[in-house]
Amino acid sequence: MEYIITFIEGIASFISPCVLPVIPIYISYFGIKSKSIKKSLLNSIGFVSGFSIIFILMGVFASTLGKFIHRYSNYMNIIFGLFLIIIGLNYIGLIFIKFLNKSKGIKQENKDFNFITSVLFGIIFSLSWTPCVGAFLSSALILASTTGSVIKGTILLLLYSLGLAVPFVVTTLFLEKLKKTFDFIKKHYNIINKISGSILFIFGLWKLIEGILGFF
């Protein structure tokens, strides 16, 4: 269950309020400026590798810390559950939390990317957009911290990264065919937000109940 939820959170991050505005710029870098689909794909893989490295390292750190607090897993589940419930309510629209709805821009530059510069761009993306995708990323990191296992924590953040990476790579490969899809996402953004929020709310409620029942 945790693995599936974490993967979905990665996909949900792709259509978050902060990442969507980046997509046209991403397309201009990797979908239009590259002269061949092979180079576009290579640059795209470099980009997703860059942000995956950072997110996985965060997972390793969180799960390492979790080994020391594993004995307090019931408390962590309750805190984690409440955290997700609040985030879920924010995305559903029942409450408003300013920093979760903050949007950032990115500077466009005329630059011909290769694999190495694409990796660096991915790293910069992960560092600058962490507060923006923080809702889903934080839930993945908190979940990793409650596992008590570095390996499991690493796998969780790997799956989160894959969830975020797959849409970027697919966008590069099927750029023309997906233009209508992005228009659909923008048009139905409120509904998508509510669905994402509902998933987080339900998962948060599950972890909260799990934590409470752990004391009995």
What mean pLDDT comes out for the span 181-206? 78
Model confidence, pTM: 0.65
Both structure tokens of 158: 């790997």
Number of domains in the chain: 1
**What's the rounded Cα separation, in Å, for the pair 84 and 100?**
12
Single-letter amino acid code for the residue at 132: C
- Write out the residue range of the structural domain in which residue 39 sits: 2-213
DSSP 46-101: HHHHHHHHHHHHHHHHHHHHHHHHGGGHHHHHHHHHHHHHHHHHHHHTSS--GGGG
pLDDT confidence bin for 209, thresholds 50/70/90 = very high
pLDDT confidence bin for 216, thresholds 50/70/90 = confident
